[in-house]
Structure 1
Amino acid sequence: MSQFLQYTLQGLAAGGFYALAALGLAVIFGVLGVVNFSHGACYMLGAMASALLLKNLDLGFWPALVVVPLLMFVVGVLIERLFVQWLLRLDPLYNFLLTFGLTLFTVDLMKRLYGVSSQPYEVPAGLRGRVSLGSVDLSGYQLFAAGFSLLVCAVVWLVLTKTRVGMIVRASTEDAERSRALGINVARWVTPVFGFGIALAGLSGVLAAPYRAINADMGSNFVIILFAIVVIGGLGSILGAVVAGFLVGLVEAYGQGYYGQISQVLIFVLMALVVLVRPSGLFGREESA
C-alpha cells in the first residue's frame, strides 16, 4: 500500500508537467485548429531558459517561475505573428509542417549553442529535503511540483469559467464558427491565446528543470506524450487536457513501479482503449471525432 501511495504522488507530480503543457496545446488547437508540434520544443526552451538565467544572471528558480513564462509568451506571439497566421486559412497540415520545422530548427540551434550535454540545475534550497507521510517518502520538490501544478490548473480553470475573457476563449475553443456568428471577434484572441499556450509549455519546462535532465532533446519524447494526452482528453477540450495529463502521469508512474520498461507503452495502450471506446476522447464532443 505504501508503494502504491508513493507511485500515486510521483504520478501526480509528473502529471502536473503534462497537464500544464497539454492545457496550452488543447487551447491552441481549439481556437486556432493548429496542431502545434513545436510544443515540446517550447517546453525544452522553458527549462533551458531557467538554466541559462541561473548561470548567466544568477536568477533563481522562484523568479524564473514568473520571468520564463512571460518570455515564452512573447516567443509564442512572435511565432503566431510571423509564421502561423499566414497559414491559418490553408490545410492544417501546413501549420503542422511549419511547427515541425520550427522544432527541428530550435533543437539544432540549442545543440549548436550549448551542446548535447545536460545543463545543471539544482533543486531550490527550500525544497531539497524529503517529506515522510507515514511509510511514504517523497522529495519536497515532488510535492511542491504536484501542488503548484494543481494550483495553476485551478487558477486557469477559474479564469476560463468565471471571467468574460474565459467565456470568449471557451466559446472559441468549443465552436469558433458559431462564436463568430454570435459577434465574437475570434481573430482578436488568436495571438494572445497562442502566446498563452506557449507560456504554459514554458512554465512546465521551468517546473521540470530541477527534476529532469535539461538538454536540447528533452522535448522530443515529451511532445509525443502530449499528443497522446490531448487525444485521450478530447481534441480541444480544456478540462480533458488537465484530467488526461494527471491520468497519464499516474499510468506512467504505476508502469515504472510495477512493469518497468513498458511504462511508456502503457500510455499508448490507454490512448488506444479510449479511442476504441470513445473516439472523441474522454471529454471531447462527438463532432471532434
Structure 2
Amino acid sequence: MQIFGITSQELFGQLLLGLINGSFYAVLSLGLAVIFGLLNIINFSHGALYMLGAFLALLGLNHLGMNYWVALLVAPAVVGVLGVLVERLMLRHLYKLDHLYGLLLTFGLALVAEGSMRYFFGISGETYPVPEALQGGADLGFMFMPLYRGWVVVASLTVCFGTWYLIERTPLGATLRAATERPQLVQALGINVPVLVTATYAVGVALAGFAGVLAAPVVQVNPLMGSNLIIVVFAVVVIGGMGSILGSIVTGIALGIVEGLTKVIYPEASGVVIFVIMIVVLLVRPAGLFGKQA
C-alpha cells in the first residue's frame, strides 16, 4: 500500500521519528514552561543544559562505568544542582527586573557552557550505546519499531504528564503557584518561598538533563546538540502558550508528528514548518493555543 507515493512502512517510520522528536520537544518545552510560568524567567540556557545531561551520561559511562539507568537518575540530579547554584547566585537578583535581563544572563551562560565543552571535547560527536535491555526491535506488522525509540516515547510522556499532574493537581503544585503569584502571603503562612523558587528552577533544568540522557543513544553527543534544538523548542513554547505546561506537552508532541508528516509530503519544508505554524498562531492568537489572553 502506498500513501503520498511512498509505502505505508516508510510513512509509519517517519511518523515514529516525528513522535520521537515530539517527545524531546515536549520534555524540553515543559522545562521552559515550568520555569517561565512559575518564575517568569526565559531560560535560554535550556539547550546547553540538555547538552550537559547527555555529556554527563557519556562521561559517567567512559570514566566511572555508570550504566544508562543510573545516568538517567544521576545526570538530571547533577544538572538540577547546577540549576540551584545558578538560581541562588545569579537569577534571584533578576526576578523584579524585565524579562530581557534573565534572557541575556541565561544566553550568556549557554555560550559559556557550549564554549567550554567545545574547548575540552571538540565539535565531533561521540556515540552513546543503546542499553542492552533496549537493543533490537519489535515487528508490528506495518513497521519495525526499535525498542529504544519506543522507550523514549513512553519515558517522555510519563515524565511530562507526571510533572503536569504534580503542578496542576496536587497541594504541592498549588503551593508552588501561590508562592510565585503571592509570595508575601505564602511567606506569612510559614512557607519558605525562596526554597520553593529554587526547587522549581532545579526541577525545570533537571528536565533538560533528563532529555539529554534520553537523546544520547539516539543522536551524536556533541557541544552543539543543544543550540541546534533550542530555537525549535522556543517556537513550540510560543505556539503552546508561554508558561502553559499542558500546552507545551501537547504542542511539542503534535508538532513533532507534523514535522514527520511534512518530511513525507514535502521534505523541503520540514525545516521551517514549525516556524510557519508559529507565525500563523501568533497572528491569530498571540497568547498561544493554550495561553491566557491578556
**2:148 pairs with 1:141:** yes
Q: Deviations over 1:47-91 (max 9, x none)?
A: 111111111011111111111111111011111111111122222
Deviation of the 1:243 alpha carbon: 0.7
Cα distance, 1:171 vs structure 2:
4.7
RMSD: 1.7
Q: Please state how far the C-alpha of 1:135 moved relative to its aligned partner.
A: 1.5
1:98 maps to which residue? 105
Q: CA separation in 1, counterparts of 2:226 and 2:102? A: 19
Q: Which residue of 1 aligns with 2:13?
A: 6
> Is 1:167 matched with 2:195?
no
CA distance in structure 2 between the aligned counterparts of 1:122 and 1:265, rounded to whole angstroms: 31
Q: What amino acid is the match of 1:76?
A: G
The superposition leaves residues 102-148 of structure 1 with CA deviations (integer Å, 9 ceiling, x where unpaired) of 11110010011111111221111122212221121221111110111
Aligned to 2:48: 41
More displaced, 276-285 or 200-209? 276-285
How far is the alpha carbon of 1:187 from its aligned partner?
Answer: 4.1
**Structure of higher CA gyration radius:** 2
Q: Hey, what does 1:82 align to over in structure 2?
A: 89
Shift of 1:181: 6.8
CA distance in structure 2 between the aligned counterparts of 1:159 and 1:123, rounded to whole angstroms: 30
Residue 194 of structure 1 aligns with which residue? 201
**Which of 271, 288, 293 is 1:264 aligned to?**
271
Distance in 1 between residues matched to 2:269 and 2:176, nearest whole Å: 38
- Tell me how far apart the structure 1 counterparts of residues 71 and 30 of structure 2 sit (CA, whole Å): 20
Asked if 1:127 is matched to 2:134, the reply is yes
* Alignment match, 1:218: 225
Could you tell me how far apart the structure 2 residues matched to 1:118 and 1:2 are?
A: 30
Contact 1:18 1:204 in 2 (8 A): no
The number of residue pairs the alignment matches comes to 283
Out of 69, 77, 80, the position equivalent to 1:70 is 77
Amino acid of the structure 1 residue aligned with 2:217: P
Aligned pair in 2 of structure 1 residues 231, 171: CA closer, same or farther (>3 Å)? farther
Unaligned runs of 5+ in 1: none
Q: Any conservation in 2 of the 1:26–1:235 contact (CA below 8 Å)?
A: yes
Report the CA distance between 1:150 and its aligned residue. Answer: 1.0
* Contact 2:281 2:289 (C-alpha < 8 Å) held by counterparts: yes
1:26 aligns with 2:1: no
Opposite residue 290 of structure 2, the aligned amino acid is F
With the length of structure 2 as denominator, give the TM-score of the two structures: 0.91
Contact preservation (8 Å) 1:48, 1:119 = no
Establish whether residue 227 from structure 1 lines up as the match of residue 234 from structure 2.
Answer: yes
Does the 8 Å CA contact 1:12/1:246 hold for their aligned counterparts?
A: yes
- From the superposition, tell whether residues 33 and 40 of structure 1 become closer, same or farther in structure 2 (CA, over 3 Å): same
Normalization by structure 1: what TM-score?
Answer: 0.92
Higher helix proportion, which one? Answer: 1
Fraction of identical pairs, as percent:
46
Say whether the 8 Å CA contact 1:14–1:146 is kept in structure 2: no
Letter in 2 for 1:112: Y
Pick the aligned partner of 1:111 from 115, 118, 139. Answer: 118
What is the rounded CA distance, in whole Å, between the counterparts of 2:292 and 2:178 in structure 1? 13
- The question of 1:52 aligning with 2:63 is answered no
